[in-house]
């Protein structure tokens, strides 16, 4: 794989000097067009052999282009806030917004490579992590992010020569850390695992570019040209990203006898007032006790609520929070994304609100809006919501991998009950703010929502993050079921170890 | 001061039950009006004696009002990211945006009070910190933040009774931490210092409300009513905040002989090419060496650039970054604030970009836009930019208190030089993006900008954060002066200890 990058590519000074001015100008123009159109961001991953010119190339790009529109992020030791979140959180929080360029120097590839070289992980882990990186990149790319992955290469002999010359240069010798020298000794392992990673993760939507790093002029021109062509092509493309050649247009479920998942719920289930009072207090006390369990301190808890309008999400959430110290939980109400959120991949606004270790976050509506309201109302394309199922499953795997206890509720009522509650709301001054024109409009799409919910549950109720369907015609029954389910999930999590 | 809060206020159940429904409804209405108008946020500070019902009141408010529009923030142990920033950063990052309510449970007052009770700080420090808190609140208030400060009080006897009853209640005994018990022993000290703090920090724009905490119904009604009246009054006020009764309208400087500060610069200073090359490389090497000095690792570095259009800010910045590993610095280009930034006090977008310990941040334009372009173009009112001088000085004191080395540059050119550079830019395809209609418009206001710059320097060049005026007609001279000044500031900082 690295053969072409060990043949001694070089560019003479005259050729270099002749090409650079036009290249710089074109790069700058492209960068300004990128900013003014602000349709997508650029993400550049920098990896490779020590001494192969990674840092120098970034410096050069900062000189050639406008450094104020480029943000270089290096990921060394994670902060304690980063350690308290799922591993990918530190990358998500630094993603470049649309119109700008982010350079990730030290990224998921450097992490997995270092871990493998230093025997902290095994081959199977490396394979799994490479796969996960690929899925992340696929998602970013589908969201319009233009990804460049550069691998700077040197043959073993070239590297030794390069490190020696740096060592003797008083101005640059500080660049060589002990770790780098150590890598020089483990060059073979490093290159072997790198090859595996590159082979597995070079895909049409985010290919690796291997750059021979020995000759500075060659290296600089190569990177500059690749960036320019990639940028220009993306800017000229009318749409980001191209639709798949064969989009799936068949319905997700063969909807033969019109019996939907939601129809199968027994909505007549009830609780009388006395049993309710008794069970509610019992479950609240249990929740308060469980959340203070020391064994949960290393984990986060995330409960999300979706449901029909007027199904009682808000009042169920209040029965949870009513039991708790307000410092222990956060409630996130999902509304329209802000400008900063719209400049990022759609999952970004959920990533930024993921609970840290030891904390409890309640989402009132959630990322499932993508496959519910956005699908039904046509706010995103079918291609977008179709891919969202797997994006959501990946996202939730990140959460559960980090030990987060994830509990998902769909609160279901029937059409008559909704009508009754809408009217009640309109008649009670106290509740009038809760009912809007939009609620009435959504109601007309009842069946479309039912299909969307069925597909959602079929495709995202997984063993790591199952859905709980809550029969909510009777509010008392629903509240107790929510609390009890949450408590059982916490108990199961505590019992895990 | 606490006399009225020890007389045994109580509300009977009938009165309470009669008032609460209307109070709840009105609070909810106000909360929804707050959100829909989104003109200002509400900040509630909760302090007081242990056991006086702080937590219970927050819980109650979350039940009475819509908890999704309230965010409760507790500030216990700072994270390492928070410790790596100026002390106030952790409060700034959690300020509620316009239209929402933030409850700060454990805030600057709890910090200073605990520190004083536990003898970590002396009386003079307490006085100073109370003063600083007041300045912060004054600024927030001027930015439209509606602040409520609640002190929940109990007499010594009431507290002992309360803690005993909690101890015997198996459901609530967990609430009493060892620290709280310890506070029970130090009640006298606690109350004495609290009195000092409250007396000094109760101001018209952010008064303390002292609530007797013994009777739950009294406490709840009192807080609910205060909140409601305050909220309604603020919502009904046509303007936030009221203008001072006696605004200053005299010019800031008696502008008698029209000689401005900028006119006094010797813009003929030059460097020939050879001296420039030599000195540039020398200063760059020095900078690279200084920034790697271990003694700077506990400090941040912040360099900001203001200057005439086309004065060469960008190219001066590139001479700094050219010497550095791109992982060591960040460049922030200040443009129009985003939606999330507009929902916060004006300094918020600068606070979020303050460098952490060991990092170097370069601001290309800065918070001084407030007293330059915003003043000259009328983007904010005279009252706003007049108060900005002291707000900026306070902000910079926060930075330097945290050990940040702050270096401020104004790059100055004369009118003819600017004209020459504007035309050059228009003639060079490579540089055309740099010149806009706006630049030509700004040029017409040359004298207004000159006055604004003179006022800015007069009012914000302080011993902790002096301005450096850079004669920039000759770019070579300017770049070397910038680098040298920065280096000297770093050397001085290193020498400090």
Tell me what the mean pLDDT of segment A140-156 comes to: 93
Rounded Cα gap, residues B20 and B225, in angstroms: 10
Q: What is the 3-state secondary structure (H, E, C) of B282-309?
A: HHHHHHHHHHCCHHHCCCCEEEEEEECC
Question: How would you classify the pairing of strands B301-307 and B405-412?
Answer: parallel
The whole-number pLDDT of residue A106 equals 85
CA distance A258 to chain B (A): 37
- What order do you get walking across the sheet with B467-471 strand by strand? B329-333, B360-364, B301-307, B405-412, B467-471
The whole-number pLDDT of residue B254 equals 54
For an interface test with B, the pick among A62, A67, A107 (most B C-beta atoms closer than 10 Å) comes out as A67
- Minimal Cβ distance to B68: which of A81, A285, A331: A331
Give the Cα-Cα-Cα angle A290, A295, A300 (nearest 5 degrees).
Answer: 75
From chain B, pick out residues whose CB is under 8 angstroms from the CB of A21: 430
Beta bridge partners of B471: B412
Rounded Cα gap, residues A494 and A430, in angstroms: 41
The whole-number pLDDT of residue A237 equals 85
Closest residue, chain A, to B26 (C-alpha): A430
- Look at the pTM and tell me if it is higher than 0.90: no
Indicate the pLDDT class of residue A68, thresholds 50, 70 and 90.
confident
From chain A, pick out residues whose CB is under 8 angstroms from the CB of B171: 285, 288
Q: Is the Cβ–Cβ distance between A147 and A206 less than 8 Å? A: yes
Q: What are the tens digits of pLDDT across the range B298-316?
A: 999 999 999 999 999 999 9
Measured from the Cβ of residue B366, the count of other Cβ atoms closer than 10 Å reads: 20
Q: Calculate what percentage of chain B has a pLDDT beyond 70.
A: 91
CA distance A174 to chain B (A): 9
Pairwise CB contact (< 8 Å): B430 & A174:
no
The whole-number pLDDT of residue B7 equals 79
Q: What are the tens digits of pLDDT across the range B340-362?
A: 999 999 999 999 999 999 999 99
- Minimal Cβ distance to A326: which of B62, B326, B333: B62
The whole-number pLDDT of residue B180 equals 61
CA distance B175 to chain A (A): 9
Q: Could you give the dihedral angle defined by the CA atoms of residues B99, B101, B104 and B109, in that order, rounded to the nearest 10 degrees?
A: 70
pLDDT at B335 over 90: no
Sequence-distant (6+) residues with CB within 8 A of B339 are: A338, A339, A340
From chain B, pick out residues whose CB is under 8 angstroms from the CB of A171: 285, 288
From chain B, pick out residues whose CB is under 8 angstroms from the CB of A364: 68
Q: Is the Cβ–Cβ distance between A297 and A357 less than 8 Å? A: yes
Beta strands in A329-485 (DSSP E): 329-333, 360-364, 405-412, 467-471
Pairwise CB contact (< 8 Å): A326 & B171:
no
Lowest-confidence segment of A109-118, A171-180, B55-64 by average pLDDT = A171-180
From chain A, pick out residues whose CB is under 8 angstroms from the CB of B32: 433
Maximum separation of any 2 CA atoms in chain B, in Å: 90
Lowest-confidence segment of A23-27, A304-308, A485-489, B159-163 by average pLDDT = B159-163
The whole-number pLDDT of residue B92 equals 96
Rounded Cα gap, residues B41 and B98, in angstroms: 4
CA distance B54 to chain A (A): 10
Q: What are the tens digits of pLDDT across the range B207-237?
A: 899 999 999 999 999 999 999 999 999 999 8
Q: Which helix (H) or strand (E) holds B139?
A: helix B123-142
Lowest-confidence segment of A67-71, A165-169, A279-283, A298-302 by average pLDDT = A165-169
Pairwise CB contact (< 8 Å): B327 & A62:
no
CA distance B188 to chain A (A): 27
DSSP B433: G
The whole-number pLDDT of residue B317 equals 94
CA distance A254 to chain B (A): 39
CA distance A62 to chain B (A): 8
The whole-number pLDDT of residue B186 equals 79
The whole-number pLDDT of residue B438 equals 86
Tell me what the mean pLDDT of segment B135-161 comes to: 91
Pairwise CB contact (< 8 Å): B333 & A68:
yes
SS3 B105: strand
Q: What are the tens digits of pLDDT across the range A72-122?
A: 998 888 999 999 999 999 999 999 999 999 999 989 999 999 999 889 999
Angle between helices B216-236 and B54-64 (to 10 degrees): 60
Rounded Cα gap, residues B119 and A383, in angstroms: 63
The tokens describing A430, both together, are: 């106290």
Closest residue, chain B, to A326 (C-alpha): B59
Pairwise CB contact (< 8 Å): B429 & A25:
yes
Q: Calculate what percentage of chain A has a pLDDT beyond 70.
A: 91
A vs B, Cβ pairs < 8 A, gives 107
Q: Using CA of residue B189, residue B193, residue B196, residue B202, what is the dihedral sign?
A: negative
Q: Is the Cβ–Cβ distance between B67 and A317 less than 8 Å? A: yes
Q: Which helix (H) or strand (E) holds B362?
A: strand B360-364
Q: What are the tens digits of pLDDT across the range B451-482?
A: 899 989 988 988 889 999 999 999 999 999 99
Q: Is the Cβ–Cβ distance between B232 and B30 less than 8 Å? A: yes
Indicate the pLDDT class of residue A306, thresholds 50, 70 and 90.
very high
Closest residue, chain B, to A281 (C-alpha): B171
CA–CA distances in Å: residue B433 to residues A31, A400, B71: 11, 48, 43
The whole-number pLDDT of residue B435 equals 81
pLDDT higher at B165 or A381: A381
Closest residue, chain B, to A318 (C-alpha): B63
- Minimal Cβ distance to A330: which of B28, B71, B333: B71
Tell me what the mean pLDDT of segment B21-26 comes to: 93
The whole-number pLDDT of residue A249 equals 53
Rounded Cα gap, residues A371 and A448, in angstroms: 11
Nearest to A35 by CA among A4, A69, A62: A69
Pairwise CB contact (< 8 Å): A338 & B333:
no
For an interface test with A, the pick among B67, B98, B338, B431 (most A C-beta atoms closer than 10 Å) comes out as B67
The whole-number pLDDT of residue A254 equals 54
The whole-number pLDDT of residue A418 equals 95
Give the Cα-Cα-Cα angle A102, A104, A110 (nearest 5 degrees).
Answer: 165
Tell me what the mean pLDDT of segment A5-23 comes to: 91
Measured from the Cβ of residue B209, the count of other Cβ atoms closer than 10 Å reads: 15
Lowest-confidence segment of A310-324, B96-110, B159-173, B234-248 by average pLDDT = B234-248
Closest residue, chain B, to A175 (C-alpha): B325
Indicate the pLDDT class of residue A246, thresholds 50, 70 and 90.
low
The DSSP secondary structure of A467-490, one letter per residue, reads EEEEE-SSHHHHHHHHHHHHHHHH
The whole-number pLDDT of residue A256 equals 57
pLDDT higher at B354 or B250: B354
Rounded Cα gap, residues A478 and A484, in angstroms: 10
pLDDT at B181 over 80: no
CA distance A325 to chain B (A): 7
Indicate the pLDDT class of residue B497, thresholds 50, 70 and 90.
low
Sequence-distant (6+) residues with CB within 8 A of B477 are: B269, B270, B271, B471
From chain A, pick out residues whose CB is under 8 angstroms from the CB of B353: none
From chain A, pick out residues whose CB is under 8 angstroms from the CB of B340: 338-340
Ramachandran quadrant class, A51 (left: phi over 0; alpha: psi -120 to 50; beta: rest): left
From chain B, pick out residues whose CB is under 8 angstroms from the CB of A29: 433
Pairwise CB contact (< 8 Å): B67 & A24:
no
- Minimal Cβ distance to A333: which of B68, B330, B429: B68
The whole-number pLDDT of residue B84 equals 93
Measured from the Cβ of residue B152, the count of other Cβ atoms closer than 10 Å reads: 25
CA distance B431 to chain A (A): 8
The DSSP secondary structure of B57-83, one letter per residue, reads HHHHHHHHS-GGGEEEEE--SPPHHHH
Measured in whole angstroms, how far is the alpha carbon of residue B480 from the centre of its chain?
33
Mean per-residue pLDDT over chain B, rounded: 89
pLDDT at B251 over 80: no
The whole-number pLDDT of residue B288 equals 92
Mean per-residue pLDDT over chain A, rounded: 88
Tell me what the mean pLDDT of segment B241-263 comes to: 59
What is the complex's ipTM, to 2 decimals?
0.74
Pairwise CB contact (< 8 Å): A430 & B314:
no
The tokens describing B471, both together, are: 């004669």
């Amino acid at each position: 794989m690295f053969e072409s990058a060990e043949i001694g590519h070089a560019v003479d000074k005259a050729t270099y000097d002749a090409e650079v001015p036009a290249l710089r100008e074109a790069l700058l123009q492209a960068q300004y067009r990128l900013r003014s159109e602000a349709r997508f961001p650029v993400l550049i991953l920098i990896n490779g052999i020590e001494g192969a010119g990674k840092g120098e190339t970034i410096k050069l790009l900062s000189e050639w282009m406008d450094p104020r529109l480029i943000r270089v992020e290096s990921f060394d030791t994670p902060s304690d806030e980063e350690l308290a979140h799922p591993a990918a959180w530190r990358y998500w929080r630094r993603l470049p917004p649309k119109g700008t360029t982010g350079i990730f120097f030290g990224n998921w590839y450097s992490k997995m490579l270092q871990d493998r070289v230093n025997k902290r992980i095994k081959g199977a882990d490396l394979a799994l992590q490479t796969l996960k990186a690929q899925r992340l990149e696929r998602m970013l790319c589908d969201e319009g992010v233009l990804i460049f992955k550069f691998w700077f290469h040197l043959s073993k002999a070239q590297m030794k020569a390069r490190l020696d010359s740096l060592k003797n240069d008083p101005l640059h010798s500080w660049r060589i850390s002990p770790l780098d020298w150590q890598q020089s000794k483990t060059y073979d392992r490093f290159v072997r695992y790198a090859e595996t990673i590159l082979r597995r993760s070079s895909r049409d939507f985010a290919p690796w570019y291997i750059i021979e790093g020995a000759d500075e002029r060659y290296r600089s021109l190569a990177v500059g040209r690749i960036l320019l062509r990639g940028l220009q092509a993306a800017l000229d493309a009318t749409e980001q990203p191209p639709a798949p050649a064969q989009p799936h247009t068949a319905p997700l479920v063969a909807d033969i006898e019109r019996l939907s998942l939601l129809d199968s719920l027994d909505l007549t289930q009830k609780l009388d007032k006395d049993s309710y009072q008794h069970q509610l207090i019992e479950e609240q006390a249990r929740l308060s006790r469980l959340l203070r369990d020391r064994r949960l301190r290393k984990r986060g808890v995330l409960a999300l609520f979706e449901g029909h309008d007027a199904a009682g999400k808000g009042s169920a959430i209040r029965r949870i929070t009513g039991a708790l110290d307000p410092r222990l939980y956060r409630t996130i109400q999902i509304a329209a994304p802000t400008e900063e959120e719209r400049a990022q991949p759609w999952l970004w606004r959920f990533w930024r609100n993921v609970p840290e270790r030891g904390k409890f976050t309640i989402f009132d509506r959630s990322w499932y809006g993508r496959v519910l309201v956005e699908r039904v109302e046509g706010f995103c394309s079918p291609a977008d919501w179709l891919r969202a199922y797997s994006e959501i499953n990946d996202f939730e795997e990140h959460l559960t991998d980090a030990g987060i206890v994830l509990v998902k509720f769909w609160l279901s009522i029937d059409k008559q009950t909704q009508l009754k509650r809408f009217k009640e709301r309109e008649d009670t001054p106290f509740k009038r703010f809760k009912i809007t024109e939009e609620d009435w409009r959504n109601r007309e799409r009842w069946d479309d929502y039912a299909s969307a919910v069925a597909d959602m549950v079929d495709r995202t109720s997984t063993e790591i993050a199952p859905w709980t369907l809550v029969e909510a015609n009777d509010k008392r029954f629903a509240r107790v079921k929510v609390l009890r389910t949450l408590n059982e999930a916490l108990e199961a999590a505590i019992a895990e170890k």
